Each structure stands twice: as C-alpha cells, then as structure tokens.
Amino acid sequence: MMELDKFADEWGPEKIVHVYDPSTRMKGILVIDNTALGPGKGGIRMTPTVSVEEVFRLARIMTWKCALAELPFGGAKSGIIADPKRITKEEKLGLVRAFALALKPLSPSQYVAAPDINTGEEEMAVYALANGSLNSCTGKPFSMCVRPGVKCGIPHEYGSTAYGVLNAIIVASKHVGLDLKGTRVAIDGFGNVGSSLARFLAGHGVRIVAVSDSKGCIYNPNGLDYEKLMKAKAEKGSVINYEHGQVLSHEEIFELPAEILVPASIPDVINDRNVDRIQAKIVVEAANIPAKYEMEKILHEKGILVVPDIVANAGGVISSYAEYIGENPDKMLEMVSDKISKNTQLILAESAKAKLPPRDIALRIAQERVKKAMEKRETIKRSFSAD
C-alpha cells in the first residue's frame, strides 16, 4: 500500500504488481495505471535499474498516449529487473517466459504487453506462447500469422514509432515556418527508433548533423550519411566509429547547433544540467519521458517548441492497435500518419492560442477523454449495484 500511496491520484494506478520466480530468479514489475478506456497497454523493458517509479511514470504516459490517439486501450507498463549483457540469450528468454506465466491472471484481460528497451519480436513470441493467447502482447513476429484471420505481428522494420515522430516533425516544422530540406537535426539514441527516424529523415532531405548512442556522439556539421552510420553501428558497435566526424561525449549532443533535437533514448536526458544550453528551435520527444515537465516548461519559456512524447511517439501504440485488430502494415502506417499529424496540429494550434506548453494542452484533452470513460464506468457499476 505504501507504493500506491506514493503514486495514487484520481487517475490511478489501479494495480502495482511484483512477481518473482524462484527457478529463474525472475523479478518483475507491472503497473496497470488506468483501464477506463480498455486493457492497459504498455511494453516490457528489461534493465538492471528498472524501478516501480520508472514503470509507473511510463504507465501514466501510456494512459494519456492511448487517450490522445483515441485507442480502446488504457495505460500500463512493466519491467524485468535484469541486465541482458550479463546473461545468455536462453536465460533472457527464460525470464520473459517466467514473467508471462506470472502475469497470466492479468494478461490479456487487464494488460496487453509489447516490446520496449531490450525486448523485441523474439521476446514477444515467447511471451505469447507462454501466456497461451496471441492477444496477450503485440510486436510479435510476422511468422506467427499462420492462417488467415489470426492476429499477427507487424515487423519492427516498418519503424512505426519513428514514422509517427517523422509526421510530428513535419507538422511542427510547418508550424514554425521551417523548411525541412537542409534543416539540421540531432538524434539522441540510435536504437530501433533513432535509426529508423534517421532513415525517414534522410529521405526528406534533412541534414542529420549528430547522432549518439551509449558510447558517445558523432558530429559533422556538413551531415552524416545514414548508410554509413548503420554500417559503423553494425560492424563496430557504435556510431562513434563513423569515419567522417568529430567524436563527442553523449551529453554534448544536447548543446550542438541544430534546428531540431530528437531525444530518442532513455528517460530524463534533458535535465537541469543541459536545458539552458539547448540551441534547437524544436524538440520532438521520440523517447518516453526524456524530460520532466519542469524542463519542458523552461524550454517553452525560451521559445523552443516541444512536441511531447504522448503526442510524438504514439506511433508505436497505434501500430500495436493495428496489429491487435489484424490490420496489415500499409493500413498501420496510414493510421499512424493520420493520427499523429492530426493530434500534433491540434495540440500545437491550441498551445499557440492559449500560450501554454503543448503538454498542458495534450494532457487536458487526454484527461477529459479518460474522465468521461471513468464516469461512464462508474454509472454502469452503480446500475449493477442497484439491481
């Protein structure tokens, strides 16, 4: 109860669940924040430092993200406390299998899982098979679609989250009168989202001047070549091995001259140490919770436009919904583009009109939708009680 007391407010969380499996020593956390709109939706991250607070913050983000995208999902998130670098592949999959079995009473009825940091298609296949229901998670391999009518995976190669971020960037650029061709972009993080976004941006003539990963940052004011970045990452383990550029520390990417900054890595990378040094005109949050609200407010007061995570990176959960209802990849990308573009336009226009940070507007809209669903649920409960 102490944990619930720490986070509890009018929205949730409905459940904080700890699970443990003695045979594999799997330690897991699940936070189901709010299910007024549907079962809680959120990925499984596997890191040695994942905590209840981190999982709760991410679950709350999912509550608002699903509401903004007008999806029949609530907010949830989960974590397995482990370091994938220190265990074998078999041990990693064993932890996911144990986690799936432990959550079977809640998934998929109240929780639908998905990939997140250090989990992907293979882990989702293991989760679904251990759970016994293909509806227990999304992000499964396309090969799990074995017959017509079966809900199956949409391969991560389509880059749905990054595609949504691209659409948010296009809308935000038009909003401030910025021509994307030749515009300088810095991308913090070169995982699935960051690398896919670099590919999409390169196709739009954007000049990617800096990219970072856990080893550091590579910077070239004349631009970085996407294919060569991918080769450096694949063959030598890090973007800092890109041949034509200046190697900087990871932190320095936030201070570089670029019109657009895209945090696409871990939480809280924009913080009180670097917020005053950001030179970008636009910050588009491809990662979840890359900055606390106080940091976003500082950027807003400096005249920097921030497109918050609950708007910009909703492509992943929209893709999950497309998979959940059995849509094909083409339809999925259409849904991502339509929803992200529409919501970004709405929120930026309302933000400019009200002179408030975009997150304030996005939260107001999301909260109105969740509150309406909660009130409807309470009305139904009362009617059953009366009977």
pLDDT digit string (tens) for 301-320?
Answer: 999 999 999 999 999 999 98
**Is the torsion defined by CA of 110, 114, 117, 118 positive or negative?**
positive
99 pLDDT higher than 60: yes
- Buried-exposed string 245-280: b where 16+ CB fall within 10 A, e elsewhere: beebebbbbbebebbbbbbbbbbebbeeebbeebeb
Whether residue 151 has pLDDT greater than 60 = no
Which band of pLDDT confidence, cut at 50, 70 and 90, is reported for residue 152?
low
Q: How far apart are CA 333 and CA 339, in angstroms?
A: 10
Distance of CA 61 to the CA centre of its chain: 9
DSSP assignment letter at 265: S
Mean pLDDT of the chain: 93
Q: Alpha-carbon distance 262 to 254, whole Å?
A: 9
pLDDT at 76 over 60: yes
Q: What pLDDT does residue 112 have?
A: 97
CA gap 195, 345 in Å, rounded: 25
* Residue 238 clears pLDDT 60, i.e. is over it: yes
Do 271 and 294 meet the contact criterion of CB atoms below 8 Å apart?
Answer: no
Q: 211 or 5: whose pLDDT is higher? A: 211
Q: Is the pLDDT of residue 148 over 90?
A: no
User: Length of the chain, please?
Assistant: 387
Closest CA to 121 of 99, 91, 143, 104: 143
Mind listing the pLDDT tens digit for each residue in 23-32?
A: 999 999 999 9
User: With bands split at pLDDT 50, 70 and 90, how would you rate the model's confidence at 147?
Assistant: very low
- Cα separation, 189 vs 362, in Å, equals 25
- Rounded distance, CA 163 to CA 185, Å? 16
Name the residues annotated as catalytic: 77
| Per-residue pLDDT at 155 | 64
All structural domains of the chain, each given as residue ranges with its CATH number in brackets, are: 2-64+81-153 (3.40.50.10860), 160-365 (3.40.50.720)
Q: E-assigned strands of the chain?
A: 15-21, 26-34, 40-41, 44-47, 74-81, 111-112, 184-188, 207-213, 216-219, 246-248, 260-263, 282-284, 305-307
CA distance 72 to 231: 40
Angle in degrees, CA 279, 280, 281, rounded to 5: 125
Query: The tokens of 258 are what?
Result: 């670029």
Which whole number is the average pLDDT over 89-101? 98
Of the candidates 295, 292, 339, 331, the one whose C-alpha atom is nearest the C-alpha of residue 313 is 339
- Three-class DSSP category at 70: coil
Q: pTM surpassing 0.85?
A: yes
Work out the pLDDT band at 156, boundaries 50, 70, 90: low
Q: Is the pLDDT of residue 153 over 70?
A: no
- What is the pLDDT averaged over residues 374-384? 86
**Distance in angstroms (rounded) separating the CA atoms of residues 45 and 56:** 12
> In angstroms, rounded to a whole number, what is the distance separating the alpha carbons of residues 219 and 142?
36
Residue 237 binned pLDDT confidence (cut-offs 50, 70, 90): very high
Q: Are 95 and 80 in contact (CB under 8 A)?
A: yes
Cα–Cα dist 100/105, whole Å: 10
pLDDT for residue 68 is more than 50: yes
Using the predicted structure, report yes or no on whether residue 358 has a pLDDT greater than 50.
Answer: yes
How buried is residue 386: exposed, middle or buried, by Cβ count under 10 Å (0-12/13-18/19+)?
Answer: exposed
| Mean pLDDT calculated for residue range 237-241 | 96
Give per-residue pLDDT as tens, 277-297.
999 999 999 999 999 999 999
CA dihedral over 58, 59, 65, 69, signed as positive or negative: positive
Which has the closest alpha carbon to 287: 316, 259, 267, 311?
267
**Range 139-153 average pLDDT:** 65
